[in-house]
Amino acid sequence: MIVVSFCLPNLFGLSRASNKWVFNMNYKYIGIISILLIISIFTYNTFTYVESKNTITISGAWALYPMMIKWSEEYQKINPNVRIEISAGGAGKGMVDALAGLVDIGMVSREIYPEEINRGAFWVSVVKDAVISTVNRDNPILEDILEKGIKRSIFIDIYVHGNITTWGQVIGNPKITDEIHLYTRSDSCGAAETWANYMGYRQEDLKGIAVYGDPGVAEAVKNDRLGIGFNNINYAYDAKTNLPVEGLMIVPLDLNEDGEVNENEDFYENRNSIINAIIIGAYPSPPARELNLVTKDSFTGATKDFVRWILTEGQNYALETGYVPLSSERCAEWLKTLEGQK
């Protein structure tokens, strides 16, 4: 098409320029164009032929996106004839795309709802990660937060009821009147749903400015001194340094509600420590959760091979990418589900 549009102005230009040899030139151009078109039609067909055989299309959760990139790279190394195309757009998109048959695999980072199962959603869990609460590094009460953590009930007051609106109220100090700038996700997503589940609610109950995508929330909190948000682990910690992303601090959850962060609750220092906390169950679930791959009815062909690989060898890449691999029993269960012998 590009070739054609380049030639067309020439065609017109010539016919205006000199009427005499326009006729021959036109035919010449038309000849070239048609040859190119014929070539392109043939090559297009061969391309689509290859595609229909070995391309796996994937869309959905931001939470699984970095993991899936890693898996697809590794898988394509050992299976050079497979092409994997991945796009991120939130768990909801992954679910809708998978159920509509637009993609082979939908990445869904939340529970699967009964309505979706009724519509033929079939899924296996592949890894675990967690949603964590983040604030800006220059937060006015940063030291208090790191020392005391934030209780679940206070999160509920901030996110759902909206009756805590200043940072002073979080620690019971009326002198601090800095407003809380609350951020949530605009796209329907697993992170927000899981975070809401932790408080006992749904995504639509969360108040706050809704920003698009996991990186969007991280960016907003990073740039707003008064901001608080939530992220999947891999968007709150830097993959290279393993430390929290520059400008972000992770809020410790005060799990036993005693008003301080003791050594059993202090595992936010780097990505490995929080992953370890998820493995041993110190970090609660939710906000930790299993991440799912969804399709309509069942996985087949090349896609099934890929999912099987993820549940076996693929698990070895989870830790280095910043995810929690499933236990071997759990993997075996899901492999059975995958093979249809639930």
Asked whether the beta carbons of 217 and 231 are under 8 A apart, the reply is yes
Is the bond preceding residue 215 a cis peptide, omega within 30 degrees? no
Binding positions for other proteins, 82-121, rule CB under 8 A: 89-96, 99, 113, 115-116, 119
Please, which residue, 46 or 118, has the CB nearer to other proteins?
Answer: 118
Q: Applying CB under 8 A, which of residues 12, 27, 44, 212 lies at the interface with other proteins? A: 212
Smallest distance from other proteins to CB 121, Å: 8
**Which of residues 170 and 274 has its CB atom nearest to other proteins in the complex?**
170
- Contact string (CB under 8 A) for other proteins, positions 117-156, x = contact: --x-------------------------------------
Question: Which of 68, 141, 145, 189 forms a contact with other proteins (CB under 8 A)?
Answer: 189
- 89 or 244: whose CB is closer to other proteins? 89
Of 79, 186, 273, 321, which lies in the binding site for other proteins, with binding defined by CB under 8 A?
A: 186
Separation between Cα atoms, residue 149 and residue 152, nearest integer Å: 10
Q: Taking CB under 8 A as the rule, does residue 6 contact other proteins?
A: no
Q: Provide, rounded to whole angstroms, the least separation between the CB of residue 184 and other proteins.
A: 9
Q: Distance between CA atoms of 278 and 282, rounded to whole angstroms?
A: 6
Least distance CB 210 / other proteins (angstroms)? 4
Q: With binding defined as CB under 8 A, does residue 227 bind other proteins?
A: yes
For the CB of residue 138, give the shortest distance to other proteins in the complex, in Å.
Answer: 13
Phi, psi angle pair for 6, to nearest 5°: -75, -35
Beta-carbon count within 10 A of 177 CB: 12
* x-marked contacts with other proteins along 162-181 as a string, rule CB under 8 A: -----------------x-x
Q: Tell me how far the alpha carbon of residue 168 is from its chain's centroid.
A: 33
Selection from 212, 192, 214, 217 nearest residue 204 by Cα: 192
Considering the complex, state which of residue 188 and residue 270 has its C-beta at the smaller distance from other proteins.
Answer: 188
- Measured CA to CA, the distance from residue 327 to residue 49 in angstroms comes to 39
- Closest approach of Cβ 208 to other proteins, in Å? 8
CA gyration radius for the chain? Answer: 26
Question: Binding to other proteins by residue 246, rule CB under 8 A?
Answer: no
- Identify whether the C-beta of residue 60 lies closer than 8 Å to the C-beta of residue 90: yes
Q: Is 167 exposed, middle or buried (0-12, 13-18, 19+ CB in 10 A)?
A: buried
For the chain, the straight-line distance linking the first and the last C-alpha, in angstroms and rounded, comes to 50
Site for other proteins in 13-42 (CB under 8 A): none
Can you name the residues that pair with 136 across neighbouring β-strands?
A: 248
Phi and psi dihedrals of 231, rounded to 5?
Answer: -140, 155
How far, in Å, CA of 334 to CA of 342, rounded? 8
Binding site for other proteins (CB under 8 A): 89-96, 99, 113, 115-116, 119, 179, 181, 183, 186-189, 202, 204-205, 207-212, 216, 219-220, 223-224, 227
